[in-house]
Amino acid sequence: GLHVDLSISGCSDSDGEEMYSLDGEEKWFADFINHRGVEPQPSFIDHVSYVEGTYEQAVANQQVCRSNLKLRREAMKDIPLEN
């Protein structure tokens, strides 16, 4: 059958999110507060692990996201609300 594979990555000035799921079940997320990746899988399934460096890549993605956010804010600063 078909499966739904989803990844979410986003940021703000003070927070960020990086998460992977399969069929609506969270498989992995970055815990930026405790500086680690979390695999919240129940004990009754075959555990799926992500490769070493997944958390470090999530941290790098957040830096890129915040840099892009800053650039977009600067680019949109003088755009009028109405034409």
Cβ distance 14 to 69 under 8 Å? no
Residues 27, 48 contacting (CB under 8 angstroms): yes
Spatial strand order in the sheet of 36-38: 5-11, 16-22, 25-31, 36-38
What is the pLDDT at residue 83?
67
Per-residue pLDDT of the chain (83 residues), as tens digits, is 899 999 999 999 999 999 999 999 999 999 999 999 999 988 898 888 999 999 999 999 999 999 999 999 999 887 877 76
Domain boundaries, the chain: 5-76
Strand, coil or helix: what is 7?
Answer: strand
Q: Looking at the whole model, is its pTM more than 0.85?
A: no
CATH code assigned to 5-76? 3.10.320.10
